[in-house]
Amino acid sequence: MLCDNCGENEAVIHLTQIVDNQMGTYHLCEACAAEKGLEPEPGAGNFPLTDFLAQLGKEEAEPEERDPGRCEFCGLSLDDFKRTGRLGCSHCYVTFDGHLRGLFRRLHGATQHVGKVYLPPDPTEAERAERLSRLRRKLDQAVQKEEFERAARLRDQIREIEEVLG
């Protein structure tokens, strides 16, 4: 696969970015990745995401954010986070808040979750389907008993529910 930027070299970095619920995939060669600041540090290990996070942290971190201290619960430092790409505990989010907000903004385009949320099936739809089934049984019984006025009312109720269900 060729680099999306220059179109000449083989892509070695594949980056997927989601901004405003729009996903973009970028394939970059080593030279174009270095131009954009995505070049990994030598000896940083074989974790491309770790390298990417470490590079992003270097660009905009303010001096007071570079040394916010250590997390008082797990002892993780900002340098440890940059090296491993992992936080030590849930309290690290508060300790390194200033640094993480900038990082999340650059990575995701926002600092608050805007993704999908699981919603259980609409209970009213299930109830409507059950009611529809019951009305059809009653309609069959009314027709068998030759109660045509009642059957007509049931038929109308069934049509109303079917319109709602689509």
User: Over the stretch 124-147, which tens digit does the pLDDT of each residue have?
Assistant: 777 878 888 999 999 999 999 999
- Taking 80 as the threshold, does the pLDDT of residue 157 lie above it? yes
The domain spans of the chain are 1-39, 45-117, 123-165
Residue 65: per-residue pLDDT: 46
Q: pTM for this one?
A: 0.31
Q: For 5-39, what is each residue's pLDDT tens digit?
A: 888 888 888 777 777 777 778 788 888 877 776 65
Would you put residue 3 in left (φ > 0), alpha (ψ -120 to 50) or beta? Answer: beta
When the pLDDT of each residue in the chain is averaged and rounded to a whole number, the result is 77
- Residue 122: its pLDDT value, please? 63
